[in-house]
């Protein structure tokens, strides 16, 4: 049977010159004009070359207003020598989105890039209820001619329409305020936000664009899913913003030509990571965000939505989370510590793999750990921008204890021991009897080559075997490898579940989780139940929160905020959001064996005071995807120990259980 290959579409918008016919002049506001930019056309040309050369995009559409093609440039008025339908006006941009919707099919890919001015515009009278009083907006070329800007919710509406058709979407925005939806220069020459911009009042034509805006907020059901918007956790949708909602995006000069600083650094990193034309095989959007934050000054790029996907891919290699390390002389500092379940002896592997080295932790503090490297390796690290990933966990002095059914035999036990040692540094003890042991993992044999894993109910949430787990192979060697993956996965889950906050003070906050829409509180909720999470800061200090979910599938995922960085909560303020609990996606055999009764999710709120802390190193995939980490497991040859130092910030942890599913 022959099937069509997915097609790749792209829409690239670069606005250097803004037209102005005086339509927005009024007695209330001084004459509105936008200073022209010079790097946006260069951005889209560079991206166009990258898409064609590296990813073989077939259908690339470009709307641009370069300086060279606009008459009376300095006056900001006149007409273009380009065809009118190729200018980045609101109507043309909307028409391009409509064309993609008509021509693209489910499974196709759409990439949208915008370079130009961004601004915060006053809310329209018929804006969605969820909209801000000032709406982050992309300024179109004909905005000063009285035409609408592309507001954040409008962009969301267009993208959601494509998403509902099954089209995979990636968006990059190189403009000011893009972290909310939104450019400036220096090393930076200018900024992509209007100079001395007087916010204009809305015109009647702009209110007309809100007529179909009320149904854009829907709930995306995931294992634990946020309410969907263009900036929070949409399905099959990734957005990379050049900067935060209150920041400016810069232009910079490269060999005499201006580019958006964000776009330039993005393309530099992607070309370097392109693996000799084979694509960015191991690069996720999270990794891109981390790298760009290292390379850019004065702006903080952020990723929203499907940040774990491989770049331009549909696959989430939810194996390990790269961490950006710092080099201090011969000491590597890694932003994960005791609060993240790091112990002395834990090992991290340096990426890219050309370094071929694993680091063994010799000192652990509350939020960071250190490893010592040689002078030679230190020099190599200074030449690149490497990151590290966890490769072997230290579970502390207790180590790992597993009962192994004697029916497996000694050969299997030896193979299992060796496989576990590839993933765990700590002592591993395989028991042939448990007697009064009630707090160990158990591996029981079923038939000739099948097995089940069980654990204490406080860990697994059930007295039944761990599900879904497919431990069926034709050889003991393969079965030992699969069992070791699952056991190591559960051991790390247990370690994170037992983490305790360090502060001796009472929590200066409250967390409340209730059914959404004032639904009744219950001990057992149906699948897909919607909940409202509410956090109140009761202190006089800023608090920084991250919400993670420890699921019945033994995954650990960040629920809120959608980006890696924690959410700042001002003193005395309240933050809320809605989410749902649903069955996760997976292979067909997983769907058939998923537990649908008494599913326990633990909603953990992690709170710090004095400075924000990233918790992304806690994340791990569903247990049936544990094998995704196997290709990175290589032990190092040396281990050292050292003293442990105390925390430098206060932190607290709040756990709340939610039970969903049927009672039978």
Whether 341 has a pLDDT exceeding 90, the answer reads: yes
Are residues 206 and 115 both part of a single domain? yes
Q: Is residue 235 part of a domain?
A: yes
Q: What is the pLDDT of residues 344-387, one digit of tens each?
A: 999 998 876 656 678 999 999 999 999 998 888 888 777 766 78
The domain spanning residue 248 has which CATH number? Answer: 3.40.50.1460
Whether 566 has a pLDDT exceeding 70, the answer reads: yes
Residue 107 or 490, more confident: 490
Are residues 470 and 597 both part of a single domain? no
Lowest-pLDDT range of 42-46, 282-286, 564-568, 655-659: 282-286
Residue (of 78, 9, 87) closest to 41 by Cα position: 87
Are residues 518 and 445 both part of a single domain? no
Q: What is the pLDDT of residues 91-121, one digit of tens each?
A: 999 999 999 999 999 989 999 999 999 888 8
Are residues 195 and 219 both part of a single domain? yes
Q: Are 252 and 258 spatial neighbours (Cβ–Cβ below 8 Å)?
A: yes
In this prediction the pTM is 0.67
**Residue 593: which H helix or E strand, with range?**
helix 588-593
Q: Is residue 2 part of a domain?
A: no
Are residues 286 and 244 both part of a single domain? yes
pLDDT of 124 reads 72
Q: What are phi and psi of 209, to 5 degrees?
A: -75, -5
Q: Is residue 640 part of a domain?
A: no
pLDDT of 474 reads 67
Q: Which residues contact 510 (CB under 8 A, 6 or more apart)?
A: 535, 536, 538
Whether 301 has a pLDDT exceeding 50, the answer reads: yes
Are residues 514 and 482 both part of a single domain? no
Residue 62 or 236, more confident: 62
The domain spanning residue 406 has which CATH number? Answer: 3.40.50
Mean pLDDT of 258-269: 94
Are residues 471 and 605 both part of a single domain? no
Q: What is the pLDDT of residues 389-444, one digit of tens each?
A: 888 999 998 899 999 999 999 999 999 999 999 999 999 999 999 887 788 999 99
Q: Report d(CA 9, CA 59) in Å as an integer.
A: 5
- Residue where a domain stops, chosen among 305, 340, 372: 305
Q: Is residue 150 part of a domain?
A: yes
Q: Report d(CA 593, CA 627) in Å as an integer.
A: 18
Whether 44 has a pLDDT exceeding 60, the answer reads: yes
Are residues 436 and 535 both part of a single domain? no
Token pair, residue 204, equals 């009647």
Highest mean pLDDT among 119-123, 490-494, 628-632: 490-494
Task: Please count the residues of the chain.
Answer: 664
Q: Is residue 373 part of a domain?
A: no
Residue (of 145, 158, 176, 8) closest to 65 by Cα position: 145
Q: Is residue 189 part of a domain?
A: yes
The domain spanning residue 564 has which CATH number? Answer: 2.60.40.2550
- Residue where a domain stops, chosen among 440, 464, 498: 498
Please report, rounded to a whole number, the percentage of residues in the chain having pLDDT higher than 70.
77
Name the CA dihedral angle for 269, 270, 271, 272, rounded to a multiple of 10 degrees. 50
Lowest-pLDDT range of 96-100, 194-198, 305-309, 336-340: 194-198
Are residues 234 and 282 both part of a single domain? yes
Q: Is residue 394 part of a domain?
A: no
Residue 133 or 508, more confident: 508
Using pLDDT thresholds of 50, 70 and 90, give the confidence band for residue 280.
Answer: low
Name the CA dihedral angle for 284, 289, 295, 296, rounded to a multiple of 10 degrees. 150
Number of domains in the chain: 3
Q: Range of 476's domain? A: 400-498
Are residues 539 and 492 both part of a single domain? no
Are residues 529 and 474 both part of a single domain? no
Q: Is residue 77 part of a domain?
A: no
Residue (of 158, 116, 160) closest to 138 by Cα position: 116
Whether 27 has a pLDDT exceeding 60, the answer reads: no
CA dihedral for 626, 631, 632, 636, sign (positive or negative): positive
| CB environment 148-172: b (16+ within 10 A), e (fewer) | bbbbbbbbbbbbbebbeeebbbbbb
CA dihedral for 450, 625, 348, 548, sign (positive or negative): negative
- Residue where a domain stops, chosen among 246, 275, 305: 305
Whether 215 has a pLDDT exceeding 60, the answer reads: no
Highest mean pLDDT among 121-135, 281-295, 356-370: 356-370
Q: What is the pLDDT of residues 433-460, one digit of tens each?
A: 988 778 899 999 887 767 889 999 999 9
Mean pLDDT of 245-274: 88
Are residues 273 and 405 both part of a single domain? no
């Amino acid at each position: 049977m022959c099937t069509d290959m997915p097609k790749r579409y792209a829409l690239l918008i670069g606005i250097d010159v803004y037209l102005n016919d005086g339509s927005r002049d009024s007695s209330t506001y001084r004459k509105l004009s936008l200073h022209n930019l010079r790097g946006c056309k260069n951005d889209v040309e560079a991206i166009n070359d990258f898409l064609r050369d590296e990813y073989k995009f077939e259908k690339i559409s470009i709307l641009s207003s370069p300086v060279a093609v606009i008459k009376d440039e300095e006056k900001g008025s006149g007409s273009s020598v380009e065809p009118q339908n190729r200018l980045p006006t609101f109507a043309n941009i909307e028409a391009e989105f409509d064309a993609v919707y008509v021509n693209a099919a489910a499974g196709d890919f759409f990439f949208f890039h915008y370079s130009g001015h961004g601004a915060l515009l006053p809310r329209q009278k018929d804006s969605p209820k969820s909209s801000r009083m000032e709406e982050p907006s992309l300024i179109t070329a004909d905005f000063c001619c009285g035409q609408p800007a592309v507001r954040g919710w409008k962009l969301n509406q267009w993208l959601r329409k494509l998403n509902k058709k099954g089209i995979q979407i990636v968006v990059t925005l190189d403009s000011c305020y893009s972290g909310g939806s939104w450019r400036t220069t220096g090393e930076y020459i200018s900024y992509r936000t209007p100079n001395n911009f007087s916010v204009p009042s809305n015109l009647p034509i702009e209110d007309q664009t809100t007529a179909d805006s009320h149904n854009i907020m829907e709930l995306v059901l995931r294992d634990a899913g946020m309410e969907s918007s263009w900036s929070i956790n949409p399905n099959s949708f990734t957005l990379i913003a050049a900067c935060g909602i209150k920041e400016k995006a810069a232009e910079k000069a490269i060999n005499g030509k201006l580019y958006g600083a964000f776009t330039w650094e993005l393309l530099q990193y992607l070309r370097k990571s392109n693996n000799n034309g084979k694509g960015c095989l191991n690069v996720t959007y999270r990794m891109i965000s981390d790298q760009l934050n290292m390379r850019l000054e004065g702006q903080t790029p952020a990723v929203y939505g499907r940040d774990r996907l491989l770049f331009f891919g549909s696959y989430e290699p939810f194996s390990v989370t790269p961490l950006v390390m710092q080099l201090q002389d011969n000491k590597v500092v890694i932003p994960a510590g005791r609060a993240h379940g790091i112990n002395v002896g834990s090992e991290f592997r340096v990426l890219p793999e050309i370094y071929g080295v694993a680091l063994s932790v010799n000192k652990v503090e509350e939020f960071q750990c250190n490893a010592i490297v040689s002078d030679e390796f230190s020099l190599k690290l200074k030449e690149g921008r490497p990151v590290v990933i966890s490769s072997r966990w230290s579970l502390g002095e207790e180590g790992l204890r597993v009962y192994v059914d004697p029916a497996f035999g000694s050969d299997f036990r030896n193979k299992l021991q060796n496989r576990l040692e590839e993933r765990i540094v700590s002592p591993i003890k395989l028991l042939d009897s448990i007697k009064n042991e009630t707090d160990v993992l158990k591996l029981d044999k079923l038939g000739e080559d099948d097995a089940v894993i069980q654990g204490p109910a406080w860990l697994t949430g059930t007295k039944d075997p761990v599900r879904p787990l497919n431990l069926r192979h034709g050889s003991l060697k393969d079965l030992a490898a699969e069992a070791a993956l699952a056991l190591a996965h559960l051991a790390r889950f247990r370690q994170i579940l037992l983490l305790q906050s360090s502060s001796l003070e009472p929590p200066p906050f409250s967390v409340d989780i209730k059914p959404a829409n004032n639904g009744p509180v219950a001990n057992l909720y149906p699948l897909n139940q919607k909940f409202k999470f509410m956090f109140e800061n009761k202190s006089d200090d800023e608090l920084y929160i991250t919400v993670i979910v420890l699921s019945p599938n033994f995954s650990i995922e960040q629920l809120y905020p959608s980006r890696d960085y924690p959410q700042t909560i001002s003193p005395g303020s309240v933050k809320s959001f809605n989410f749902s609990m649903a069955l996760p996606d997976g292979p067909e055999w997983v769907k058939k064996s998923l537990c649908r009764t008494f599913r326990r999710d633990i909603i953990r709120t992690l709170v710090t005071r004095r400075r924000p802390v990233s918790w992304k190193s806690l994340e791990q995939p569903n247990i049936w995807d544990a094998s995704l980490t196997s290709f990175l497991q290589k032990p190092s040859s040396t281990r050292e120990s050292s003293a442990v130092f105390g925390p430098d910030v206060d932190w607290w942890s709040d756990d709340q259980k939610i039970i969903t599913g049927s009672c039978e």
